[in-house]
Amino acid sequence: MPDLIRGRIGGVAGQIGSIAVTLFGLLILTFVIGRVMPTDPVRAIVGEDATREVYETVYRQLGLDRPMWEQFFVYLKDVATLDFGTSIRTGQPVLNDILYVLPATIELATFAIIFGAGLGIPLGVMAAVHKDRWPDHLIRVFSLSGHSMPIFWTGMIALLVFYAQLGWVGGSGRMSQFYIGLVPEKTNFLLIDSVLAKEWDVFRSALNHIVLPASLLGYSSSAYITRMTRSFMLDQLGQEYVTTARVKGLSNRQTIWRHAFGNIRVQLVTIIALAYGALLEGAVLIETVFAWPGFGQYLTSNLLIGDMNAVMTCVLVVGVIFIALNILSDLLYRIFDPRTR
C-alpha cells in the first residue's frame, strides 16, 4: 500500500511538473512571438505622426529599452498577476476583453462539436461496417465535401438560402437587434444569461441565430471525426474478438456497438478534444461571415492593427485551452479505460 501511494503521488507530481514545463514553454513562445512580429507596438500606440520625443518616451514606458531577459521576467510577473496590459483598439484591459468575447466562441464551438460528434461518430461506424459498399462511398464523399469546401463560402451560401430566402434561421450576430441590452450580462454566455433572466424571447432569438453557424462548423468538424471513427472501427472489426463474438451468437448490433465501439472510445476522446480546441481557436472565418463577436474575430481585429498585448494574450489563451483539453482527455481515459488508472 505505501508503494501504491508513493506511485500515485509520483504520478501526480510528474503530471504537475509536465504541465508546469509546458506552460513555461508556452510563455517563452508567446514572448518571442511578441518580439519577432513585424509590427512596432510603440508606433501602434502613438501613431505615425508622433514626434521622436513622444516615441522614445512610450518606448521606455513599455520597457523595450531594457535587456531581453529583463523584459521576459517582467512579462512573467505580469502574467502571474493576470496583468496582460491594455488593448489599443478597445482601451480596456485585455483580460476583460477576452472574458467578454470568449464565451461567445465557447457557445458556438460547443454547439458545433455536439453536432459534429453526433453526426460524425454514427457515420464513421456505418462506413466501417459497410466498407467498400455504397454507404461507405457515400459517407466518404460527404466527409470529403465537408473538409474541402471553404467555410466562408458555405457560410455565405447558407445565409443566402436559409436566412435571406427561406427565413428558417436568424441572420448575423448573436441575437436580433431588437433584444440587445435586455439581458444582464452575468456570465457573457447569452443562452445562459437569457435563461437566468427568464427572457425566453431572447433565448429563442439566440438559439435561432446560433443554429446555422454552429451547424456549418459542426459539419466541417464531423468530416474529420467521421474519417477517424471509420479508421478506428475498421481496425477493431478486423480483430479476432469480433469474430469470436459473432461465433458465440451475439447480434451484429451488440458486436459493433458494445464490443468494437467500446474499444475505440478512448481514442475518440482525444479526437473530439482536439476538434473542440480547433473550433475554439479556428472559428475566425465563420465569426467574420456571421458577424459573431467572438474570440477569433477579436484576435484577427487586433492582429491587423498590431495590438500586441491582445495578440500575445490570445495566443497564450489558445495554448492554455489545448493544455486544459489534454488534461481533460487524460481524466476521461481513466473513466473509459480502467487499465490506465
Instruction: Note whether 89 and 305 are within 8 A (CB).
Output: yes
pLDDT tens per residue, range 189-220 = 888 888 888 888 889 988 999 999 999 999 88
List of domains in the chain: 19-80 (no CATH), 94-340 (1.10.3720.10)
Measured CA to CA, the distance from residue 301 to residue 304 in angstroms comes to: 5
**For 83-101, what is the mean pLDDT?**
86
Spatial CB neighbours of 296, under 8 Å, sequence gap ≥ 6: 105, 281, 282, 283, 284, 285, 287, 288
Predicted structure pTM score: 0.83
> Is residue 56 over pLDDT 50?
yes
Could you say which DSSP state residue 263 is in? G
pLDDT tens per residue, range 141-176 = 888 887 778 888 888 888 888 888 888 888 888 888
